[in-house]
Structures are given as C-alpha cells and as structure tokens.
Amino acid sequence: MIIKPMVRSNMCINAHPIGCARETENQIAYVKAQKAKRGTKSMAEGGEGPKTVLVLGCSTGYGLASRVAAAFEYGAETIGVSFEKEPTETKGGTPGAYNNMAFDRAAKKDGLVAITINADAFADETRTRVIEEVKKLGHKFDLIIYSLASPVRTDPDTKVQYKSVIKPRGSVYSGRSIDIMTGALKESSAEPATEEEIANTIKVMGGDDWRRWIGQLSSAGVLAQGCRTVAYSYIGPELSHAIYRNGTIGMAKLDLEKAARDLDAQLKSSVNGGAYVSVNKGLVTRSSAVIPIISLYLSILFKVMKEKGTHEGCIEQMERLFAERLYTGKNSAADSVPVDNEHLIRIDELEMADDVQKVCLERMNAVTQENLSQYCDLDGYKHDFLAANGFDVAGVDYEKDVARMDVIA
C-alpha cells in the first residue's frame, strides 16, 4: 500500500514504518558523529559514563533521544519502556512501535544490550518486570530517565483512572495558532480548568509515579551507587505561561519539580546519587500543535534560532544534556550537575536567551497572515510535525508500495 499522512485536527493519526525507522537511524548517526567529535569514551573504551540505563517513555521525543545518546555515545545497556500499538501485517502501529524496532535493530547490530518492554509504565506489574530484567543482567541502574507523557493514568492502589488536560486556570485563554497543513492563522481558545481537572492532571503528569518508580527500584536493591534520575519539563516564554506554566500542565510540572528535590535528598542519602528535572527546549509534539499560541510561537522560534545557528531538535538537546551537564568528568564520568536556584537543569538556555526572546516577541506582535512566511519557519515546523510520524523524511520513497506494515525494511 502507499502510505500518506492522515491529519485530523492538527494531529497525524498514522505512521510510515520506513520513515520512522530512518528518523531513528538519523538520530543514531548524529550521536555517533558527536561521540567522535567530542572524543566521548564508551564503556568498551574504558569510559565511566552511564552503564545500565532505564528509560521510561523510550519510544519518541526526548525519551527516545535519551536512549539513543546513552546507548550509541556511551555504550550503555538500556531497558526501555513504552506503551505502543504494535503493527500487524496489514495494520499500522504507533510511531513509537517502529522507532523501538529500529532502535533494537541498530543496538543488536552494534552489540549493545537493549531490552524493550511494551507495557503501561504506570502499572506495578511493569515495575516488577523491569526489576526482573535488570536482575537477569546482573547489574543495577545508574541512570533512570523519566520521560512519560500520557493523557491517562490509573492509580495502582485505588484503580481510579485520571485524565490530564491542557487548560488555563481561572479564565479563558485565547491566542492565534497555525493550521499546520494549510499554513492558515486562526484564533483558538481554551476554557479554564476545574479544580478536579487540575488535580487529575497533577495525578497523571506530576511526581507521583516517578516517586513510585524510584521507591520500588530502591526497595528491590537495583539502584547503583551514584544513581541519578532525570525527568523532563518545559517552561517557555512568559506569553505562553497562562496556558502552560501557570496552567494545568504547569501545576503538574511544579509537583514534578518538588518530587525531584525530595528524591534528590533520598538518593543522596541512600546511594550518593541525585534527582533532577531538566527544562528542555520547546519542540513540536502531538500536543503542542493544538495548544493556543504554541504552534505560532514555535514556528517563529525555529526561524529565529536557525537564523542565529542555535536551533536544536530532540537529539541535539539530549546529546548535549548528557555530554555537557551529566557526564563531564574524566573518561566521560558522571560529575557535578549545574542547576539553577530551583534545582533545575537548564538545557533551554539557547531558547530563553534574551536576544532570541526579544526577536520572538517582536515577531509575535507583528505577524499576520500576509507576512506569515516572513516571520515563521512554516516548512521546518511542518517537517518536524510530519517526521515525528515518519513522513517527509529525506531518502524515503513515499510513492513506493509498503508490502507489510509490521516491518521497517
């Protein structure tokens, strides 16, 4: 069959197996090039970087990029967890299913240990399985990446299902957005969240599950001395705070940041380790495309940062997080981690630079439908949106028949 992107309400609802695999391979190639450029020492070369890594939410975005960096720059063995719709011969799977297949294939080719678990990361049964797998390896985790982003979580104790929402608090939030496929500017708005919706979003996207993971891994004795754990967040510019930082997701992220400080104290005491939240750069995601203002801001941001030569995608961000924040010691060893006054790692500093934000704000105020292409990186934003689902990837023949939906070659 010939597979074309199916876009509904600014969301792509299908994936191209070959394109997804190629995008994952591109990330691996980038990391290998950076390893050579930096002179990073892998485990096989006597390096002291991450050795056994757990990535929760390993299949897309920052989670996939983190796993790629750990494995292909540092030679770490990785266990990845994500919840995917697996493809069949005739029916497509989620992009993450294909990304995981490509990662596993590349890891096997390079002789790297890679265990990928398709399961609900919020479930205690999944935690038990991860513990069993790492014990089979005979090793302990020295790095745990927490990169889960889900609309739904079932509490393991109460069995109550909670749903997250992306809404402002207190009042309606309105702003302009871009229709990704047509390039049309349109007004969109979001109703304020109820107190129940705020609480539920914190339950899904806050620190509860992260605490549970670290607690159960610690009780099972599978945390190595010096073990670190890192979760991911976003702050962004003040103009987006009403819908993001001060909205429902922002409240959940504040809870996540509190969990980091609590876990940091616990890990320092138990294994001389640490816990952090890394604030990352704004990128195109499934949710960002439908949030008021965010798509317009990001398309302007991309153009500004590309003009300045500072634009980064997921893999550039995560490779830099590892190499310039987490593993800066001798022989690529773990070292002290620079944090701000809120105990946050700031890998978004290029986005939030004063000169970048000044130009972004000026263009946000000046942009109209008529000058949209002048101020916005429409092509780049659309590419990132499609590439996340395996479309618009260089080197892929999209007119070629895909005989089976469950293979990536």
Catalogue the active-site residues: 244
- Integer Cα distance of 220 and 270 in angstroms: 13
Q: What's the token pair of residue 63?
A: 């989670």
Rounded Cα–Cα distance for residues 225 and 207 (Å): 23
The contacts of residue 132 (CB under 8 Å, 6+ apart) are none
Residue 365 host element (H or E): helix 354-366
Is the CB of residue 12 less than 8 Å from the CB of residue 385? Answer: yes
DSSP string, 284-349: --TTGGGSTTHHHHHHHHHHHHHHHT----HHHHHHHHIIIII--SGGG---PPP--TTSEEE--T
Cα–Cα nearest to 153, from 167, 164, 140, 168: 164
Give the span between the Cα atoms of 282 and 302, in whole angstroms: 9
Spatial neighbors of 181 by CB under 8 A, at least 6 apart, are 7, 10, 382
Q: How far apart are CA 389 and CA 83, in angstroms?
A: 16
Which has the closest alpha carbon to 116: 92, 98, 91, 142?
Answer: 98
